[in-house]
Structure 1
């Protein structure tokens, strides 16, 4: 995972994500105590295939029912005797269709890359299975031929190449089945912590063949989101009064808290408190007690929560009604922000001179969306799936910014335009023509997966812009865009609201951990078909927009 800004000594990177292993945010809507469904999302275009808002109890019931039937499900979809299913998540559509996401084990070992989604009609009849791999899970032996020490050494070597100074693995190598690379093999997974070369926490997962000692794969799990804010003006913040002081705690959104790390690099931090309930000054200072960064962070969490809730009916990052928390003033002169699944928290640095906090609204939405991805498709942060992971955060971070309708920070298709990491007023990324940053990909090619994930994300960002707004020159909220197409075609957009619905349904119901661009095309077409029909303008525009970025 890379930081939010660009690692300047290498490439002009982008917004960081920190998904140490996971996700972030939301709030719940209570239903009848015995309800096993829920109400449909509000809005003029409520659709039969749109995901329902499930109460915590309803979602828990569906998960329990699915888990109780895993043996039967495994048999019905043709898994072997050594394979078991573990329910990760359940999504129920308004028409009663259920999409159950499973992890898999083989001989008691986790199968990495073996995740799948079973789609079940309202009648209970299975409609199909979306698999991460079609390969049969079977290995000759569950006994490794290399020692765990060799796997640990290999992982440390890889981590040091990424800047970590760790002298030992955070966790001992564990046996797994590696199924994401073709033929399943017995392997070790080793996790190395410490810090990356720019100060971002490190969580490098290294997969080693347990028979040959060959490194098979590695991915970074840290993905590199009334207050007087620096970036969004004067805003309303939800707080709690405790005694004579107010706490920066939002009980209306799952109990989200904003804490102060005061330049530390670990721990939860101290909850911000204030005597008059006016947070910040609208200007940043180098003080480690500065409230302005806290106000921006709290506002970002608040708006991101509301965006997911009101747009998709999602009850928080994990869709369970429980909030994450936000930490500000991380480290010293740290020019980044990240989401961390381990602490289930969002963390912000203060930038150069400790006076430029990375707490802008689209950064908050971007980083916390890494948490949503981690808790749904789990897109691996490497290769094309890593580019899709980053693009998903750009897409939803953009959605958050438009959703806010904030007059100080109007919605646009620019990423990180407020934080000015480049020092010249330019944004980190451009969705209408990603290559304007000098390095991102406008179109798919067979080598796009070799790029840094913040650069390969350009293909999906461009697709989303074209799907939303179409090709050619236009001005939106005062920003000029001119989006080209690979095949010279002219695209008429279907609108951002529909494009967001399609991407969210694809992410939560049809993408798996190693989905690539070809798979993303298939997933979004499946989503568009479910929402609007296979003969609809929306479906046809999804196909045309992918062709326009050379994904066919």
Structure 2
């Protein structure tokens, strides 16, 4: 095995190991070279536990008047919920009604009218208007504290500091965004600008940077790289990376001004109430200044998508539609945001790039180096993994670090295995021949996590086995500069719990339970115990108390050590 092959092999052992660096989080594969940035900023490598406390209570009392004012209900039950002054500190974030007729009111904690980052409580009503469950997190320390929320530094200064902190390029692919938030971090409460910076390059980023609005210092940062009407719909045929023949929904257009006649595009406008499924070409570049994201719409002069260069695009386009239909047909979800947003994919990203990622807006796929990986768009489970990050972005919003980040990764893996029903392996279709011959037949295994090693630098933080964990006894207490605190490593514990449940009740029912937990009960700071409560409650909602599905869900979590 040559040196060039060994390096990505180690990286893959993190199972998409995101890092505290300008690497790609929400990726299928990434590095852990974050030490330089951590040292430069003086950011601690590990976190003190913040003072958010988990809230979970069932049937606190029947609301005789069926008062659907969720804030009033929480205020009336604040002592039972151990919440200080929720009536004046909570704001409605959104209200959703599900297919069972239940109403879910998601409440955002605030301070002086500003959101407290990541701290949410959800009140769940049955179809008769009676509260059944309250769950989420709340920060009593902030509720009691006196926090000055008058900014001293300007927005421009905050943006300048954020760009400098992550070494952002001068030209960004999207305009930066910023919000004033109260940020509980590392045992303290900060008043900050939350700045989001999104850019490409050899180390693409979707960074959230928290700048102290009083001093201008960097408090924290982490990488979440978690229609024209004249197009005519039609069908086409193409060949995928592994040689499969694919039927594609595409479009054509005749633009007399161009002189090119009729052109054909990987642009699916066949689905009602969907903004389209589109696939773009990044032409093996890293620099978006010459080829702005998402790239150039994949275009041909004929409706034959069988050239070698077409194959990555054919699979990305085909797999995107498969994942779209999974969420629509099995969960009634119209695209990643639930409201028909356009599904964009970009292929041929960079050179020898062993990675795929969701940047908060779209999916992007590298071609692999041919030794460790082939084109990553070949994997249906890879597409489902990345697109599920999009679903998570628009629902639970799980923070991409420590246990909430591990949940984020786990749900992407789980739905990757549910969409690609063939196995409980992730990434088996994107491994190069040389990699398979060495024994690396997939990126990770949900049925047998210990089948594959973790990155060698992670080994001292686990139980010494050096393999992916399948039980809490094997948990890796990684610092933040390694895999964002273990998001790609410790996710395998949840993965294995899902596998154990799925083997008892089947993949369809497993998907129903895990989808409900993700979209209805989880909040940005949810940890593994919160996930246990969310999953068990979801099984009860759908299949009933003491049902076989409830027992199987509980059994899977018990067997991996995620207990009460």
The 1:73–1:541 alpha-carbon spacing in structure 2 relative to 1, beyond 3 Å, is closer
Other-structure match for 1:401: 420
1:441 partner SS: coil
How far did residue 534 of structure 1 move? 1.7
SS at match of 1:230: coil
Instruction: State the distance in 2 between where 1:19 and 1:531 align.
Output: 39
Q: What is the aligned partner in structure 1 of residue 278 from structure 2?
A: 257
SS at 2:414 equivalent: helix
Say if 1:422 and 1:428, in contact at 8 Å, map to a contact too. Answer: no
Q: Which of 265, 285, 299 does residue 273 from structure 1 map onto? A: 299
Q: 2:323 aligns with which of 279, 304, 312?
A: 304
Report the TM-score, using the length of structure 1 for normalisation: 0.73
Question: What does residue range 438-449 of structure 1 map to in structure 2 within 5 Å?
Answer: 438-439=453-454, 440-445=468-473, 447-448=475-476
Distance 1:20 1:117 in 2: 30
Unpaired runs of 5+ residues, structure 2, are 1-5, 28-66, 76-84, 227-236, 255-261, 455-467, 479-484
Residue of 347, 362, 381 corresponding to 1:345 = 362
Instruction: Kindly indicate whether the alpha-carbon contact (under 8 Å) linking 1:22 and 1:371 is maintained by their aligned counterparts in 2.
Output: no
Q: Distance in 2 between matches of 1:13 and 1:293?
A: 24
SS in 2 for 1:466: helix
Task: Give CA-to-partner distance per residue, 1:151-185, whole Å, 9 cap, x none.
Answer: 8798678646xxx7889998597531124767755
Higher mean alpha-carbon deviation, 391-400 vs 166-175, is at: 166-175
Q: Is 1:321 aligned with 2:340? A: yes
Moved more, 425-434 or 265-274: 265-274
Q: Which moved more, 1:125-134 or 1:388-397?
A: 125-134
> Which residue of structure 1 aligns with residue 263 of structure 2?
245
Q: Residues 177 and 197 of structure 2 are in contact (CA less than 8 Å); yes or no, is this contact kept in structure 1? A: no
SS in 2 for 1:262: strand
Q: CA deviation at 1:120?
A: 1.7
Q: How many residues align?
A: 454
The change in CA–CA distance for 1:527 and 1:454 in structure 2 (over 3 A counts) is same
CA distance in 2, matches of 1:307, 1:19: 29
Q: Deviations for 1:31-66, whole angstroms, at most 9, x for unmatched residues?
A: xxxxxxxxxxxxxxxxxxxxxxxxxxxxxxxxxxxx
Q: CA RMSD of the aligned region, Å?
A: 3.7
1:124 aligns to what? 129
Deviation readout 1:220-270 (Å, 9 max, x if unpaired)? 2112xx221113711211111223232211112421111112133432222
Per the alignment, residue 176 of structure 1 pairs with 181
Cα displacement (A) at 1:463: 0.5
Give the C-alpha shift of residue 546 in structure 1: 0.8
Q: Distance in 2 between matches of 1:514 and 1:298?
A: 33
Provide the rounded CA distance (Å) in 2 between the counterparts of 1:218 and 1:423. 37
* Alpha-carbon separation, structure 1, partners of 2:320 and 2:517: 24
Partner residue in 2 for 1:506: 517
1:430 and 2:458 correspond: no
Report the CA distance between 1:372 and its aligned residue.
0.3
Structure 2 partner of 1:407: none
Structure 2 contact 24–203 (Cα < 8 Å) conserved: no
Q: Alignment partner of 1:238: what SS? A: strand
Partner of 1:234: 245
In the alignment, what sits opposite 1:13? Answer: 14
Match of 1:47 in 2: none
Gaps of 5+ in 1: 24-69, 285-289, 403-410, 470-492
Scaled by the length of structure 2, what TM-score is found?
A: 0.71
**Whole-angstrom distance in 1 between the partners of 2:383 and 2:426:** 11
Shift of 1:358: 1.1
**Does the 8 Å contact 1:258/1:327 carry over to 2?**
yes
8 Å CA contact 2:24, 2:357 repeated in 1: no
SS in 1 for 2:249: coil
Between 145-154 and 439-448, the greater mean CA deviation after superposition: 145-154
Decide whether aligned partners of structure 1 residues 194 and 301 sit closer, same or farther in structure 2, where only a CA change above 3 A counts.
closer
Query: Residues 436-475 of structure 1 correspond to what in structure 2 (within 5 A)?
Result: 436-439=451-454, 440-445=468-473, 447-448=475-476, 450=478, 451-469=485-503
Verify: 1:535 aligned to 2:546, yes or no.
yes
Conserved? CA contact 2:105–2:122, under 8 Å: yes
Q: Are residues 6 and 100 of structure 1, via their aligned partners in 2, closer, same or farther at CA, if it must alter by over 3 Å?
A: farther
